[in-house]
Amino acid sequence: MRVGIFGGTFDPIHLGHLIIAQEMMLHCALNRVVFMPSGEPPHKRNPEMASAKDRAMMVELAVRDYPGFAPSRFELSRPGKSYTIDTLRHWRQDMGEDTKLFLIIGADNAVDMGAWCNPKGVLDLAQVLVADRPGFDRARIDPAFKSLMRFVQTPLIDISSTAIRDRVRNKKPISLWVPEAVENYIQTHGLYV
């Protein structure tokens, strides 16, 4: 088994996430991509951030129609901040030796990797797959980490959760930016207004 872990705030999940996951599956022959929303920060940085429950619900609605995509509430169910290294250690143990783990990240995260907890350990536990992202130059990635990453050819997608939250706030349509079920969830629950 080749399993990709795709962590994020997913506030909300958008088509950029889904397209990147699909391309990673295709190019890296992954059997499964696990979408893992991060837990609730102890002090919400941003009062407009959706709750962990809402973010998880939207992830679940977004992936349910795609074979090979699966949601996970693993980080949500753990108290306090989850570090990627701890999450990967758990999955490594849980999955057994015949599973190869991959970690899917965008180039913005790759640029920030020096600030992660134990980045070398992360690169040791999983093959890190990087998707390019508009505005984030690969040249800014620490060469020590970069040499261990795999850059996967994915379309450059200029969609972010920030842009979607802004569009909702400004009453602009988001119907082509997120799956329909996610759009309906945002509307029904009055998120990001």
| Binding flag, residue 33, ligand ATP (CB under 6 A) | no
| DSSP, residue by residue, 72-98 | --TTTTSSSPPPHHHHHHHHHHHH-TT
| Binding flag, residue 108, ligand ATP (CB under 6 A) | yes
| Binding flag, residue 157, ligand ATP (CB under 6 A) | yes
What residue number has its CB nearest to ligand ATP? 106
Q: Is 51 helix (H, G, I), strand (E, B) or coil?
A: coil
The neighbouring-strand residues paired with 131 are 106, 152
Q: Shortest Cβ distance from residue 151 to ligand ATP (Å)?
A: 12
Out of 4, 39, 71, 106, name the contact with ligand ATP by CB under 6 A.
Answer: 106
| Binding flag, residue 16, ligand ATP (CB under 6 A) | yes
| Binding flag, residue 192, ligand ATP (CB under 6 A) | no
What is the x/- site pattern for ligand ATP, positions 119-138, by CB under 6 A?
A: ------------x-x-----
Cα torsion for 3, 105, 15, 5, to the nearest 10°? Answer: 20
Where do the H-state alpha helices sit in 30-142?
Answer: 52-63, 84-95, 107-111, 119-125
With beta carbons less than 8 A apart as the criterion, state whether 107 and 136 touch.
yes
Q: Which residues bind ligand ATP (CB under 6 A)?
A: 8-11, 16-17, 20, 105-106, 108-109, 131, 133, 157, 159-162
